[in-house]
């Protein structure tokens, strides 16, 4: 089996995995629907508020499971279509054109671009996933500046949004950088799990107001509790999530080399990335390879 055929089978296999997860999500939705309808009947019979509240919770869970299923189905179809193009006599489509799960999230929200960021206890980015280069560039910008909508949404545990000139006033440097990427509006929704806020879903140039849309909230809940976590959880998003490990590895190496603290070294890597218009990962890799001094 050639490398090209192996890559095609792997891509098709990921599509199969995503479809299987979609099937299971729809099965969970069916079970939740039955429970919700039972509480609806009980409320109709006795009028107890408890039954109405229980029905409402289960109906909301149904929406989350169905949204999870649609996201997985969308990704599966894209992976199957992409894999079908590869085993041909012609050059296969390059891996940079490989479908990204977050592209489906952006489509579900009706936005130009979308990104996901997961944070640690210190609110530092642990991982990032994006639908395209604009969304990734925006997340790198927030990372190096340590300021932006994702951080605000996590810190406040509330949705935030801004557009136009307000962006620069609210997040100096970030707003102008976003404009350079061709984006003019941003909104971030916190991702809450077990009483904690573990990250944010960031939407760029949405067609409607995300902070007032039940659709965006449902997608955010599905992304966290149905895609990242839960029985079929995949924190790697089919290889589309980037763990910022190489940046921290470079910070550790620089700390040992220069005798500076890890936070200082991390700040230096971010500053170099911002000054040169590079991603923090690119700077970190160049330093670790010996092609750059810090």
Give the pairing type, strands 185-193 and 160-163. Answer: antiparallel
Determine the pLDDT at residue 120. Answer: 75
Determine the pLDDT at residue 3. Answer: 40
241 strand-pairing partners: 129
Contact 159, 188 (CB under 8 A): yes
- Burial string for 258-288 (b: 16+ CB within 10 Å, else e) reads eebeeeebbebbbebbbeeebbbbbbbbbbe
Determine the pLDDT at residue 5. Answer: 43
In sequence order, what DSSP letters do the residues of 39-90 get, joined into one string?
HHHHHHHH--HHHHHHHHHHHHHHHHHHHHHHHHHHHHHHHHHHHHTSSSSS
Query: How many other β-carbons are positioned within 10 Å of the β-carbon of residue 177?
Result: 22
Determine the pLDDT at residue 39. Answer: 94
| pTM for this predicted structure | 0.81
| 10-residue stretch averages of pLDDT, the chain, 294 residues long | 46 86 97 96 93 95 96 95 70 66 94 88 80 93 90 93 92 92 93 85 82 80 92 89 70 69 68 72 72 69
């Amino acid at each position: 089996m050639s490398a090209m055929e192996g890559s095609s089978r792997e891509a098709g296999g990921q599509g199969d995995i995503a479809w299987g997860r979609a099937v299971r999500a729809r099965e969970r939705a069916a079970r939740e629907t039955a429970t919700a309808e039972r509480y609806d009947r009980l409320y109709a019979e006795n009028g107890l508020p408890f039954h109405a509240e229980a029905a409402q919770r289960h109906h909301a869970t149904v929406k989350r499971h169905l949204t999870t299923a649609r996201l997985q189905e969308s990704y599966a179809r894209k992976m199957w279509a992409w894999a079908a193009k590869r085993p041909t006599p012609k050059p296969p489509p390059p891996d940079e054109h490989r479908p990204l799960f977050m592209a489906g999230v952006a489509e579900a929200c009706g936005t130009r671009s979308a990104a996901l960021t997961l944070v640690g206890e210190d609110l530092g980015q642990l991982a990032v996933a994006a639908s395209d280069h604009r969304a990734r560039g925006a997340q790198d910008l927030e990372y190096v500046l340590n300021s932006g909508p994702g951080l605000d949404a996590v810190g406040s545990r509330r949705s935030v949004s801004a557009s136009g000139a307000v962006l620069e006033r609210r997040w100096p440097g970030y707003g102008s950088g976003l404009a350079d990427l061709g984006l003019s509006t941003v909104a971030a929704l916190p991702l809450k799990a077990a009483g904690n806020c573990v990250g944010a879903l960031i939407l760029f140039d949405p067609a409607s107001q995300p902070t007032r849309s039940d659709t965006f909230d449902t997608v955010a809940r599905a992304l966290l509790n149905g895609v990242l976590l839960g029985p079929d959880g995949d924190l790697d998003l089919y290889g589309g999530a980037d763990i910022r490990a190489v940046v921290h590895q470079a910070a550790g190496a620089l700390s040992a080399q220069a005798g500076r603290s890890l936070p200082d070294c991390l700040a230096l890597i971010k500053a170099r990335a911002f000054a040169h218009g590079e991603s923090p990962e690119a700077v970190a890799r160049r330093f670790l390879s010996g092609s750059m001094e810090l």
